[in-house]
Amino acid sequence: MASREEAPKVNAGSMADIAFLLLIFFLVTTSIETDAGLDRKLPGESDISVPIPQRNILPILINGEDDLMVDGDITDLKDLRALTIAFLDNGGAPEGSENYCDYCKGPRDTESSDNPEKAIVSLLSNRETSYGAYVTVQNELVAAYNTLRNREAQRLFRMDFTEMERQYFANETPEAVKKELKKKIRKIQELYPMKLSEAERN
Amino acid sequence: MSKFKLKKSTHTPEVSTASLPDIVFMLLFFFMTVTVMKDSALKVANELPNATELRKLEKKDRVITVYIGKPESPFDKTLGTEPRIQIDDKFIAMSNFGATILAKMNEKPEHIRPFVTVSLKVDKTASMGLISDVKQELRKIHALKINYTTYEGDAFLNMNAK
The mean-pLDDT minimum among B25-39, B64-78, B108-122, B142-156 falls in B25-39
Over 70: is that where the pLDDT of B89 sits? yes
**Percent of chain B, pLDDT > 70?**
89
Partners of A200 on chain B (C-beta within 8 Å) are 128-129, 132
- Cα distances (Å, whole numbers) of residue B59 to A123, A171, B35, B37, B157: 29, 9, 16, 15, 29
Task: Measure in Å the smallest separation between the Cα of B119 and chain A Cα atoms.
Answer: 8
pLDDT digit string (tens) for A148-183? Answer: 999 999 999 988 998 888 888 887 888 889 898 999
Cα A154 from Cα A163, distance rounded (Å)? 11
Partners of B60 on chain A (C-beta within 8 Å) are 35
Please write down the long-range contacts of A161-167, taking CB distance under 8 Å and 24 or more positions apart: A161/A185, A161/A188, A162/B53, A164/A188, A165/B55
**Percent of chain A, pLDDT > 70?**
92
pLDDT, chain A, mean: 83
Over 80: is that where the pLDDT of B3 sits? no
pLDDT of amino acid A3: 54
3-state secondary structure of A130: strand
The whole model's pTM is what?
Answer: 0.78
Nearest to B60 by CA among B16, B115, B5: B115
Partners of B127 on chain A (C-beta within 8 Å) are 127-131
Residue A48's pLDDT band, with cuts at 50, 70 and 90, is low
Task: Measure in Å the smallest separation between the Cα of B4 and chain A Cα atoms.
Answer: 31
pLDDT of amino acid B103: 92
Hey, are the CB atoms on B57 and A200 less than 8 Å from each other?
Answer: no
pLDDT of amino acid A201: 57
Partners of A35 on chain B (C-beta within 8 Å) are 36, 56-57, 60, 63, 119, 149
The answer to whether A123 and A140 have CB atoms below 8 angstroms apart is: no
Residue B162's pLDDT band, with cuts at 50, 70 and 90, is very low
Task: Measure in Å the smallest separation between the Cα of B81 and chain A Cα atoms.
Answer: 15
Residue B12's pLDDT band, with cuts at 50, 70 and 90, is confident
Measured from the Cβ of residue B158, the count of other Cβ atoms closer than 10 Å reads 28
